[in-house]
């Protein structure tokens, strides 16, 4: 029963993540233009070096749609993806710090060179403009203020995550 609950939660989360990814991709016509020629091809995300003490993350795969967007491949990833994106997850604290800092994590992309170049471009250049999305709902002024507050909060989390990473690397507080 617990597996069924976690499986359905994972499916629901992946569907929401796919919607978010497509929202970001659709906001930039150059992104959909780059993906459209790769319609029907699959991208698989693979976590390398995952700490053995943590539960293993699922293998995640997406198929490119004719519209140049992504479709989650479901709980059963393709046996032979067209592109494999490996993410170094040996240090989850570092990954979190990079994410909060808006830095690109270390990735390795294997597969068709043209497809790899386009996916690499997406990873390098696409960013979610949260302030713009908020402005559509609550107006430009409040969205800007919320964005500034979130930026300050993010900076604090980044500092804390980097400090934690340094402490772990040194073996604890001194």
Give yes or no: residues 60 and 23 share one domain: yes
Give yes or no: residues 113 and 159 share one domain: no
Give yes or no: residues 29 and 63 share one domain: yes
Tokens of 95: 């990954």
Q: What angle do CA 54, 77, 65 make, to 5 degrees?
A: 125
Cβ-contact 32, 64 below 8 angstroms: no
Give yes or no: residues 79 and 159 share one domain: no
Top mean-pLDDT range of 98-107, 111-120, 159-168: 111-120
Question: Which tens digits make up the pLDDT trace of 38-84?
Answer: 999 999 988 888 888 877 777 789 999 999 999 999 878 788 899 99
Domain containing 45 — which CATH number?
3.30.1050
For residue 166, what are the contacts with CB-CB under 8 A and spacing of at least 6?
none
Instruction: Give the pLDDT of residue 35.
Output: 95
β-bridge partners, 42: 63
Q: What is the pTM of this model?
A: 0.68
Decide if pLDDT at 112 tops 90.
Answer: no
Per the model's pLDDT, the better-predicted residue between 157 and 17 turns out to be 17
Cβ-contact 90, 53 below 8 angstroms: no
Give yes or no: residues 122 and 137 share one domain: no
For residue 69, give the DSSP letter: -
For residue 66, what are the contacts with CB-CB under 8 A and spacing of at least 6?
36, 39, 40
Instruction: Give the pLDDT of residue 6.
Output: 43
Question: Which tens digits make up the pLDDT trace of 131-140?
Answer: 566 656 677 7
Question: Which tens digits make up the pLDDT trace of 79-110?
Answer: 889 999 888 888 777 776 666 666 677 788 88
For residue 119, what are the contacts with CB-CB under 8 A and spacing of at least 6?
43, 83, 85, 109
Q: State the pairing for strand pair 42-48/60-64.
A: antiparallel
The CA–CA distances, whole Å, from 60 to 25, 43, 68 equal 18, 8, 18
Give yes or no: residues 47 and 87 share one domain: yes
Cβ-contact 106, 26 below 8 angstroms: no
Domain of residue 142, residue span: 130-174
């Amino acid at each position: 029963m617990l597996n069924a609950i976690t499986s359905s939660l994972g499916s629901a989360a992946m569907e929401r993540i796919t919607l978010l990814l497509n929202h970001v991709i659709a906001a930039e016509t150059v992104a959909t233009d780059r993906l459209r020629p790769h319609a029907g091809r699959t991208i698989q995300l693979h976590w390398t070096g995952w700490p053995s003490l943590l539960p293993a993350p699922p293998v995640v795969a997406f198929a490119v749609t004719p519209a140049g967007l992504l479709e989650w491949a479901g709980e059963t990833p393709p046996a032979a993806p067209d592109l494999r994106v490996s993410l170094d997850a040996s240090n989850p604290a570092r990954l979190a710090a990079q994410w909060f800092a808006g830095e690109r994590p270390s990735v390795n992309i294997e597969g068709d060179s043209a497809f790899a170049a386009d996916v690499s471009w997406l990873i390098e250049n696409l960013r979610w403009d949260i302030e713009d999305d908020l402005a559509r709902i609550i107006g430009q002024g409040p969205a800007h203020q919320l964005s500034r507050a979130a930026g300050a909060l993010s900076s604090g989390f980044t500092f804390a995550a980097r400090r934690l990473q340094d402490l772990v690397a040194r073996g604890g507080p001194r």
